[in-house]
Amino acid sequence: MKRTIVPFKKQLKQFKKLVANLSYDSSEKASREIKRLFAQLSFNIPSVYIKSTLVGSTLAIALLSGYNVSAQQFKAPVKNPYGITDNDNVFQPEFMDIDGDGDYDLMTASYYGDHKVYRNIGTKFVPNFDAPTTNPYGLSGSGLQFTLLTSGDIDGDGDVDIFETGFDYYSMGSVDFKFIENTGTATAPAFTGSVNNPFGLTAIASFISMPKLVDIDGDGDLDIIASSFNTTSYSTEYLLYLNAGTASLPSFEPPITNPYNMTVEAPLSFPTFGDLDRDGDLDLYNFDYYGNLTMYRDTSGTTGDPMFTSNGITSPHNIVFSDESVRTGTFIDIDGDNDLDFFASAQTDTSTNEGGIWFFKDTANYLGLPAYQKEELAFSMYPSPATNEINVECTLVADNKTTLVITDAQGRQVYNTELVDSKNNIKLDKLATGIYTIQIENDKYKGTKKFIKQ
């Protein structure tokens, strides 16, 4: 999980100002804004920077205390949500804002190492992924048979870089870290060819490995935790590469094996991290060989020196899979509602040789806040019932991307477009008869209406 400070300076400054001006006479709106900013900031930057702003404000401490989402639960999973349709037989989800438009895009690497980018052409509140593009922005195949990637701004230049390991059939016992630098910009990425083992990294003595960029010690730069399969003991170890450099000039120390009381699952173990209990530190989540998930909480109570529990919680937060598969996963707030959702790879369909992705929508909300409520967007729609077309009219907001989505009675998305005119004629000839919902949404407004297609 990427946790960086620079992009959130504006929000941190606003948070400090609100805390400084908080009083018993403050409006409910001000209190809610403090809670909202606290949730957003604590998801993206180390908690030590946020907690320092609360010193001297007993009101703010009281306002933000007492929230416990350790019982956070997820809805039943949905396969291939938000328009994700093209599936490789190995499907590792990695989310990043690759084009700098404020929402999360999806990158995967296929079994043979090609990179696929699914751009989010919706919004940060209503994601919708375009058809994938193979090896865009100068990317190329990794040369690995089973590529596992992680992303983050390793050099502090404001764009997303990539590290990869995986399964190297030809080396059979040694896996290199492959670094792919983004030499473009946050909005116009341009990736270089991969470089093996930069910044002091060394090859991993394993035939398969998964890397994870994470600020595990809370010092503001990204470290690496990688799984390593030990062929002698037939078990997995976790290797920690602490970044002893800076956020802009990384330098990794020699690896430490199974630090912080990390527990792995036998025989294979793939890690991910998330702070779902909102206590300011990251907890460890392990996938085992069969794709089951186990959570190990950080009980240290401190930032930068984690200590994970020895006894894990299986199927935490109601995350249960109906298939057995070697899988990876990640927590991400995909719909901008201030809670973490969960994505994980699905079992390969032997008849089609295609995999997929499971999506678990979180039913809770950080800090016990209700979901962010947008203002009602008024629009007209005619005729209804409709036959081959329907007309939609609404007022567009300048510099605010507005999308129109049509879903069927089962909630499946059947149409999506970005509105550029206030008057729109939508063809319905490819839709079956039935009841449909039109939703028009931008960052501030949302409107929903139903219509009948005859």
Residue 166: CA count within 13 A, CB half-sphere: 28
pLDDT at 158: 84
pLDDT at 57: 52
The strand pairing partners of 404, in sequence order, are 417, 440
Q: How far apart, in whole angstroms, are the C-alpha atoms of residue 181 and residue 394?
A: 43
Nearest to 109 by CA among 130, 128, 89, 129: 89
pLDDT at 96: 92
> Please, what is the end-to-end C-alpha distance for the chain in angstroms?
47
pLDDT at 170: 65
* pLDDT tens across the length of the chain (454 residues): 333 434 456 666 766 676 666 554 444 555 556 555 665 555 455 555 555 555 555 445 544 544 443 446 788 898 889 988 766 665 688 999 999 888 899 998 877 788 999 999 988 888 999 999 999 999 998 887 788 999 999 998 888 999 999 876 666 678 899 999 999 998 899 999 999 999 999 999 888 889 999 989 888 789 999 999 877 777 789 999 999 998 889 999 999 999 999 988 777 888 999 888 766 678 999 998 888 899 999 988 776 789 999 889 999 988 988 877 778 899 988 887 767 899 998 877 666 666 788 999 987 544 344 444 567 888 999 998 898 999 999 988 776 788 898 877 656 677 888 898 899 999 998 887 777 889 898 877 888 888 888 7
pLDDT at 453: 83
H/E element holding 133?
strand 133-134
Tracing tokens 């670094």 back to the chain, one arrives at 179
Q: What DSSP letter does each residue of 398-449 carry, written as one string?
A: TT---EEEEE-TTS-EEEEEE--SSEEEEE-TTSPSEEEEEEEE-SSEEEEE
